[in-house]
């Protein structure tokens, strides 16, 4: 399995892109502004999009993506999300006012995009890859994912602050090779992190002791301009783990 980080920033500016992970050439986790760097052919190859939650930085290029591939794909793109996430997109984005309802275009029988609800705690096999949706603790209903294939696995927290479930689910498995973990704010903004449902380095340290695996850990969703201080604070708070800053464009072979 190949994992390509299209975007992993908490914001924009110059070369920063918001959250989107491309698995092989056909699966996206989130559809933030990183999607805009794909070629039209790469966009047309995407068959499944798994959303973590309804915040804009995680779906902002989905409306433009389905418009761009409209008329040039044979099978609809399947957009997976927990019920509250799908409901929010239908009500507030694909509502004919902000954007057309592409789940009914060009026709209800043969649309360019279909929504499929998925319940946290369930898994979906796609070829030799399996995605598990895992409930986390964000200010709106949010999930992370564990993605496994025959040769390896990774997990992505999505947006979250402290809780047990994500770590307990990962601990049920024999291994975890790679962890992409959000840390949105530096320690000085820990109060804001709690209120906004995000981690600070000190908050993440409290949860990582729950994880029995020893994966390489890549820090994502950092506030623009605060990347280095957040990663430095993570290394100080969690000295026994291998902590890296995640950069857009990074690829992993798992």
**Interaction site with Zn ion (CB under 5 A):** 55, 57, 159
Closer to Zn ion by Cβ: residue 159 or 207: 159
On whether the CB atoms of residues 218 and 21 are closer than 8 A, the answer is no
Closer to Zn ion by Cβ: residue 65 or 112: 65
Closer to Zn ion by Cβ: residue 57 or 233: 57
Query: Min. distance of Cβ 199 from Zn ion in angstroms?
Result: 12
On whether the CB atoms of residues 35 and 61 are closer than 8 A, the answer is yes
The torsion of the CA quartet 95, 99, 105, 111, rounded to 10 degrees, works out to -80
User: Cis bond leading into 129, ω under 30°?
Assistant: no
Rounded distance, CA 158 to CA 154, Å? 13
Structure tokens at 12: 């924009």
Query: Min. distance of Cβ 198 from Zn ion in angstroms?
Result: 8
Angle at 132 between CA 51 and CA 254, to 5 degrees: 95
Determine whether 39 is exposed, middle or buried from the number of CB atoms within 10 Å of its CB (0-12, 13-18, 19+): exposed
Strands in 178-182's sheet, in edge-to-edge order, are 123-126, 129-135, 143-149, 152-156, 178-182, 216-220, 243-245
Query: Min. distance of Cβ 135 from Zn ion in angstroms?
Result: 14
Query: Min. distance of Cβ 107 from Zn ion in angstroms?
Result: 33
Query: Min. distance of Cβ 242 from Zn ion in angstroms?
Result: 24
Closer to Zn ion by Cβ: residue 148 or 230: 230
Closer to Zn ion by Cβ: residue 25 or 191: 191
């Amino acid at each position: 399995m190949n994992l390509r980080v299209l975007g992993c920033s908490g914001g924009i500016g110059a070369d920063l892109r918001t959250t989107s992970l491309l698995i092989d050439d056909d699966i996206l986790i989130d559809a933030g502004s990183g999607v805009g760097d794909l070629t039209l052919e790469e966009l047309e190859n995407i068959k499944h999009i798994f959303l973590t939650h309804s915040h804009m930085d995680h779906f902002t290029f989905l409306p433009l993506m389905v418009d761009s591939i409209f008329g040039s794909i044979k099978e609809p793109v399947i957009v997976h999300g927990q019920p509250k996430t799908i409901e929010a997109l239908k009500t507030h984005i694909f509502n004919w006012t902000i954007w057309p309802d592409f789940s009914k275009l060009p026709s209800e029988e043969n649309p360019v995009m279909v929504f499929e609800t998925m319940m946290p705690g369930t898994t979906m096999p796609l070829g030799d890859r399996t995605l598990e949706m895992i409930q986390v603790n964000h200010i709106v209903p949010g999930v992370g994912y564990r993605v496994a294939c025959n040769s390896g696995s990774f997990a992505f927290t999505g947006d979250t602050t402290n809780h047990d479930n994500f770590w307990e689910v990962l601990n049920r498995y024999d291994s975890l090779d790679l962890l992409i973990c959000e840390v949105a704010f530096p320690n000085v903004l820990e109060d804001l992190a709690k209120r906004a449902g995000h981690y600070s380095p000190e908050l993440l340290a409290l949860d990582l002791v729950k994880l029995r695996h020893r994966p390489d850990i890549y820090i994502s969703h950092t506030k623009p301009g605060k990347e280095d201080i957040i990663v430095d604070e993570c290394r100080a708070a969690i000295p026994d783990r291998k902590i890296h800053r995640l950069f857009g464009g990074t690829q992993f072979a798992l």
